[in-house]
Structure 1
Amino acid sequence: MTIYVGNLSYQATKEDVSDVFTEYGTVKRVQLPTDRETGRMRGFAFVDMEDESQEDAAIQALDEAEWMGRVLKVNKAKPREERSPGGGRASKSRY
């Protein structure tokens, strides 16, 4: 399972996020998605930990905690929704 971390400071690094979550167990991976056009961080992260009990402990401790001047939103990540190719809106038929 993956943890979603929202409302992150734009100054947070992978190392910063990993350090915070390491207090609750072994961090396997941290992802900080960036905007494709600007390259700026998007203000959220995904964290994978060693096991579910560690993830639960981190979520319990860090959800709504203040960190780097922001109140974090931490929960289990939802599966990514499948998107249709092209990224545009579905066109409505006029007939």
Structure 2
Amino acid sequence: MNIYVSNIAFKATDTDLRELFEQHGEVSSAKIILDKMTQRSRGFGFVEMPDNASAQQAISELNNYNFLGKDISVNEARPKTDAPRSGGYGNRSGGGNEGNSFRKRW
């Protein structure tokens, strides 16, 4: 089962996260997501546990648990959807240069 963990302290490492969840069963992987530009933690991550019963136990026992000074939020990860993100260039909601919007209008 894939588990989403948020509100992770910025000083936490993948190893710290793995060791926390290993107290509740086997962990296949534990990964804190990093910012692509700065390589600093984004404050959330994912833990994969092969046994669903252990994963459910970890979720219930670690949700709102104080981990390295912050109360983490632990939930079953939702599958990634193919729906486009809001915003961006594909939705035609502003951001264009229609009629040279910077032209003086006096």
Report the TM-score when normalising by structure 1: 0.87
**Aligned counterparts of 1:10 and 1:82: Cα–Cα separation in 2:** 29
Following the alignment from structure 1 to structure 2, what is the Cα–Cα distance between the partners of residues 80 and 11? 27
- Give the letter aligned to residue 64 of structure 2: E
SS in 2 for 1:60: helix
Q: What one-letter code is carried by the residue in structure 2 that aligns with 1:91?
A: R
Q: Which runs of 4+ in 1 moved over 2 A?
A: 81-85
Number of aligned positions between the proteins: 93
- Are positions 1:58 and 2:58 aligned together? yes
Q: Do structure 1's residue 41 and structure 2's residue 41 form an aligned pair?
A: yes
Please give the TM-score of this superposition, normalised by the length of structure 2: 0.79
Q: Distance in 2 between matches of 1:31 and 1:83?
A: 24
Distance 1:69 1:92 in 2: 41
Identity %: 33
**What does residue 72 of structure 2 align with?**
72
Structure with the larger RCO, 1 or 2 (CA within 8 Å, 6+ apart)? 1
Aligned-residue RMSD, C-alpha: 2.1
Aligned ranges for residues 83-94 of structure 1 at < 5 Å?
84=84, 88-89=88-89, 90-92=91-93
Q: Which runs of 5+ in 1 are unaligned?
A: none
